[in-house]
Amino acid sequence: MGFDEQLAQFVFAGLKSGAIYALMALGFTIVYAATGAINFAQGEFFMLGGMLAVWSLDALGVPLLLAGLLAIILTSLIAVIFEELAIRPRRDADPLALIIITIGGSMLISSLARHAFGPNELPLPPFTEGGSLHVLGALVEQQAVWLWLLTALAVAGLTILYSRTKFGLAMRASAVDREAAKLMGIDTRIVVMVTFCLAGALGAIAGVAVTPLTQTAYSVGPSIAVKGFSAAILGGLGSPLASVLGGLILGLAESLSVAALSSEFKDATAILLLLAVLFLRPEGLFRRSRREKV
């Protein structure tokens, strides 16, 4: 394999994890916009997506496609229940209080998943059987194509929802100023609820799509949450497109660091990037430096 092929291989690997990070970053970004808090339990939605798909397939015996769909729906439901029970009662509290609640939620959800599905790594078959595709001299699994397709669909759907529908307008309005949105007759309660539902779905889509490639376990949530959060910070916790770009950049950076250095510190790359951006450009890579408006 020549240098070009190797590079292509690493780029595809980067785009693969980048897609996951993008979906996770979107989850963080929309919840941040709606509540002003970082939802630490976002990684658990990813975990639940994969685990519930495995469970639907094995325990319920439904076909793979249905299992994936069921997993996404159930995870969204769990996300809504979590929001209604744990976030809503303190929604107007200091964001720190909400963050602490989601930290507790993360630990609770992953521990419950361990009791429900056991401590082992669980596999999911790929959506379509068959060998890898040859693209630009690199090997790309069919599942990776599914992953990109689902990511693109999710991003497109979310963008349309946000920019073309009345509900999206309500969501954007309450992100800018919750009190003002309320005064304009927007039910911010519903906005937050739907936002969590979407965040659950985004996490679950990522989980369902990537489990055939990586397997899953009850404990995968926090580490993917750190990555997704890093991507969201790279994107400046702002627009959906910036989050997606943040995810892809993070994935590529990770993959290229593996190529240049070694795989041992792959996970550290994302975090170092996170810390660097937090410290040097807290407004993200794409936004012009933030100015307080009077």
Partner 1 sequence: MRAVLTRMGPGGVRLVAALLAVVGVFAVPLVLQSTFTIKILTFAGINVIIVIGLALLFGYAGQISLGHAGFFGLGAYTSAILTTTVGLPWILGLVAGTAVAAAGGVIIAVPSLRLKGHYLAMATLGFGEIMRILFVQLRDLTGGPDGFSGIPPVSVGSLTLETSGADFTLVWVVAIVLLLLAANLGGMRPGRAMRALHGSEIGTSACGVDISRMKIVVFTISAGVAGLAGVLYAHVLGFISPTNFSLNVSIILIAMVVLGGPGSLAGAVAAAVVLSLLPFLDAFVPGVPREVSEFIQSWQHDLYGLTIILVMLFLPRGLAGGMRQLVRWIGRRPSVEGDTA
**Should residue 253 be labelled a site residue for partner 1 when binding is judged by CB under 8 A?**
no
Please pick, from the candidates 86, 139, 169, 213, the single residue that binds partner 1 as defined by CB under 8 A.
86
Minimum gap (Å) between residue 26 Cβ and partner 1: 17
C-alpha 101/C-alpha 240 separation (Å) is 25
Helices (H), the chain: 3-35, 42-55, 64-82, 95-117, 142-164, 166-176, 178-183, 188-214, 221-234, 240-260, 266-280
* Cα–Cα dist 247/250, whole Å: 5
Would strands 133-135 and 138-140 be described as parallel, antiparallel, or unpaired? antiparallel
Q: Is 137 in the site for partner 1 (CB under 8 A)?
A: no
Smallest gap from residue 266 Cβ to partner 1 (A): 9
If one asks whether residue 111 binds partner 1 (CB under 8 A), the answer comes out as yes
110 in contact with partner 1 (CB under 8 A): yes
CA 179 – CA 188 distance, rounded (Å): 9
Residue 292 is a binding residue for partner 1 (CB under 8 A): no
Q: Which of residues 25-54 bind partner 1 (CB under 8 A)?
A: 37-38
Q: Token match 């055939």: residue? A: 212
Least distance in angstroms from the C-beta of 45 to partner 1: 15
Contacts of 247 (CB under 8 A, 6+ apart): 18, 19, 20, 21, 22, 23, 24, 25, 228, 231, 234, 235
Nearest distance, CB of residue 108 and partner 1, angstroms: 3
Q: Does 228 bind partner 1 (CB under 8 A)?
A: no
Q: Is 69 in the site for partner 1 (CB under 8 A)?
A: no
Q: Which lies closer to partner 1 via its Cβ, residue 157 or residue 282?
A: 282
Per CB under 8 A, which of residues 146..205 are in contact with partner 1? Answer: none
Rounded Cα–Cα distance for residues 209 and 206 (Å): 5
Distance of CA 186 to the CA centre of its chain: 27
Q: H-helix or E-strand containing 140? A: strand 138-140
Q: What are phi and psi of 134, to 5 degrees?
A: -100, 115
CB nearer partner 1, residue 5 or residue 189? 189
Among 33, 71, 101, 204, binds partner 1 (CB under 8 A): 101
Cβ 122 to partner 1 shortest distance, Å: 19
Q: How far is the CB of 234 from partner 1 (least distance, A)?
A: 13
Nearest approach in angstroms of CB 271 to partner 1 is 4
Q: Give the three-state DSSP class for 133.
A: strand
Residue with Cβ nearer partner 1 (15 or 199): 199
Residue type, 194: V
95 binds partner 1 (CB under 8 A): yes
Which residues lie near partner 1 (CB under 8 A)? Answer: 37-38, 86, 89-90, 93, 95-97, 99-101, 103-112, 114-115, 222-223, 226, 229-230, 233, 264-265, 267-268, 271-272, 274-275, 278-279, 282
